[in-house]
């Protein structure tokens, strides 16, 4: 029956009513011709007076029903419904005029059905027009009965009772159909509002992702700026070392001393190359690329950059409790998190101290990271806000307040969690928990 619903009708109420109207139209188009055909072929049954007129009326209604069905299939639902109801009203009027009111008494429930169809398909206006048409048909039928049988008082009483019954039916249908249409209209309005809200939400999510990407890039730029001064200083030292070895090599008077000088040059150049590769890798493309990697190698590879980021008075202590699970993360953003926390630790220890990094695996196979400093610590009010964007305790112009909020965003985007513990005078510790995957051949071991 899907094809009955497949009609080009825009109004949702009409589209829902279209299958019913099509079924009624098909029945009215098919049944009367079949019935009259059967009546014509049955032998030995004479035609009664008025039957030819009834046949013509029935066949006319069938033709109108067939046309109504065609109109619905073409998307003209309102025109089809009006034509169908008009055909029925005219046929009811002709039937009452031909046989009288009393002869049509058993057909009155069918009139109620058509009034319900009018209310549901075309609304209250069509309903009350159908009620008026029914009253006209009743009046014509009563006039016929009075002309044939007399008994005017009894006939008029029948008319009044039937008119009152159909009036009550019309009132009920009016309120029910109106409430149904109002409810559907409200539901459609809510649906449209939900669609609009969903569109706004999608736009806000896209904007949030765009801002988040800009935020990450801003943090990378800030970290690169902090690293640049340290890298420049180290490169100056390495260039000095290379020049010193080259000078000694040029002044060497034997092959052994020259080889030692060249080895020193190679060692210094290797250190410079490693530092350059780490810096270039950190500043590469902005697109997030998640991959499975071992955090131990990533943290160990960050040590040269950490030494550039932290002041010379800060000592780095790294403790990795093997075995560690692999994590599914963007490696550059993982490194950015570590550098952001390290930058905060460096700010918290202007006189120097120890920045500690520890990693272990929990019973669920997750990676647990802890970053500690020996700074002044934080009050509870400050601790409660450290992950808020743009919140900073630094003087104006010396910090964006975005570093720790970026850390929180990145960890939670990877399905993890982050929290901090701190007390005044006892430093701070930041804890990160990131979902991991135990490499094949190794079991989860809680540390």
357: domain CATH number is: 3.30.565.10
pLDDT category at 212 given cuts 50, 70, 90 is low
Give the pLDDT of residue 39: 76
pLDDT confidence of residue 216: 66
Residue 287: Cβ-neighbour burial (10 angstroms; 0-12, 13-18, 19+):
exposed
User: Among residues 90, 124, 150, which one ends one of the domains?
Assistant: 150
Q: How confident is the model at residue 237 (pLDDT cuts 50, 70, 90)?
A: low
Residue 230 lies in a domain: no
Final residue before a domain boundary, out of 124, 150, 176: 150
Q: What is the pLDDT of residues 12-68, one digit of tens each?
A: 777 778 888 888 888 888 888 888 788 777 777 676 766 676 777 778 888 888 888
Residue 402: per-residue pLDDT: 55
Q: How far apart are CA 111 and CA 113, in angstroms?
A: 5
Task: Tell me the average pLDDT across 259-287.
Answer: 68
Whether 164 maps to a domain, the answer reads no
> Minimal CA–CA distance to 309: which of 403, 402, 205?
403
pLDDT in tens, 125-154: 888 988 898 899 888 888 988 888 888 888
Tell me which of 367 and 306 has the higher pLDDT: 367
Residue 446 lies inside a defined structural domain of this protein: no
* Mean pLDDT of the chain, nearest integer: 81
Q: Is the pLDDT of residue 274 over 70?
A: no
Directed axis angle between helix 331-348 and helix 255-282, to 10°? 100
In a domain, 331, yes or no: yes
What pLDDT sits at residue 414?
86
Residue 309 lies in a domain: yes
Its pTM stands at: 0.44
Of the residues 115, 150, 185, which one is the last residue of a structural domain? 150
The number of domains in the chain is 2
Q: Round the CA-based radius of gyration of the chain to a whole number and report it.
A: 45
DSSP lists the bridge partners of residue 422 as 428
pLDDT of residue 224: 63
Which residue segment(s) compose the domain that 391 sits in?
290-437
Identify whether 135 is part of a domain: yes
| pLDDT band with cut points at 50, 70 and 90 for residue 447 | very low
Q: What does the pLDDT average to over 314-324?
A: 92
Give the model's pLDDT for residue 302. 83
| 103 DSSP assignment | G
Asked which of 174-178, 243-247, 311-315 is least confident by mean pLDDT, the reply is 243-247
The arithmetic mean of pLDDT across residues 234-248, rounded, is 68
Q: What share of the chain is helix, strand, coil (3-state, %, to 5)?
A: 70, 10, 20
Q: Is the pLDDT of residue 82 over 70?
A: yes
- Looking at the domain assignment, is residue 22 inside a domain? yes
Any domain includes 111: yes
Q: What are phi and psi of 321, to 5 degrees?
A: -90, 100
């Amino acid at each position: 029956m899907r094809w009955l619903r497949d009609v080009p009708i825009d109004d949702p109420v009409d589209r829902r009513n279209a299958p019913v109207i099509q079924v009624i139209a098909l029945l009215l188009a098919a049944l009367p011709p079949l019935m009259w055909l059967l009546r014509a072929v049955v032998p030995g049954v004479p035609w009664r007076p008025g039957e030819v007129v009834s046949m013509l009326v029935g066949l006319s209604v069938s033709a109108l029903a067939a046309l109504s069905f065609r109109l619905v299939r073409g998307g003209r639902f309102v025109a089809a419904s009006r034509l169908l109801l008009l055909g029925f009203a005219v046929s009811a009027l002709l039937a009452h005029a031909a046989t009288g009111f009393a002869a049509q008494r058993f057909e009155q429930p069918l009139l109620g059905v058509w009034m319900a169809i009018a209310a549901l398909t075309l609304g209250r206006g069509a309903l009350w027009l159908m009620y008026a048409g029914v009253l006209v048909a009743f009046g014509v039928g009563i006039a016929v009965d009075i002309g044939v049988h007399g008994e005017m008082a009894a006939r008029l009483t029948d008319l009044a009772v039937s008119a009152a019954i159909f009036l009550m039916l019309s009132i009920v249908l009016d309120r029910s159909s109106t409430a149904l249409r109002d409810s559907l209209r409200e539901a459609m309005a809510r649906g449209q509002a939900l669609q609009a809200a969903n569109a706004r939400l999608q736009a806000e999510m896209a904007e949030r992702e765009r801002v988040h990407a800009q935020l990450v890039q801003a943090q990378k730029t800030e970290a690169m700026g902090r690293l640049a001064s340290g890298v420049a200083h180290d490169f100056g030292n390495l260039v000095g070392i290379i020049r010193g070895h080259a000078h000694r090599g040029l002044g060497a008077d034997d092959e052994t001393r020259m080889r030692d000088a060249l080895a020193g040059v190679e060692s210094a150049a290797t250190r410079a190359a490693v530092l350059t590769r780490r810096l270039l890798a950190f500043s590469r493309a902005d697109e997030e690329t998640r991959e499975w990697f071992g955090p131990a190698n990533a943290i160990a590879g960050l040590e040269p950059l950490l030494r550039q980021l932290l002041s010379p008075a800060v000592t780095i202590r790294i403790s990795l409790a093997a075995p560690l699970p692999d994590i599914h993360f963007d490696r550059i953003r993982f490194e950015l998190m570590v550098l952001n926390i390290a930058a905060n630790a460096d700010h918290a220890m202007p006189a120097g101290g120890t920045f500690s990094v520890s990693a272990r695996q929990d019973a669920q196979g997750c990676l647990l990271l802890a970053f500690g400093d020996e700074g002044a610590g934080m009050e509870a009010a400050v601790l409660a806000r450290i992950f808020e964007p743009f919140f900073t305790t630094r003087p104006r112009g010396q910090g964006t307040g975005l570093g720790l909020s970026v850390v929180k965003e990145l960890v939670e985007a990877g399905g993890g969690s982050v929290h901090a513990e701190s007390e005044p005078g006892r430093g701070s510790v930041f804890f990160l928990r990131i979902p991991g995957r135990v490499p094949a051949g190794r079991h989860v071991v809680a540390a």
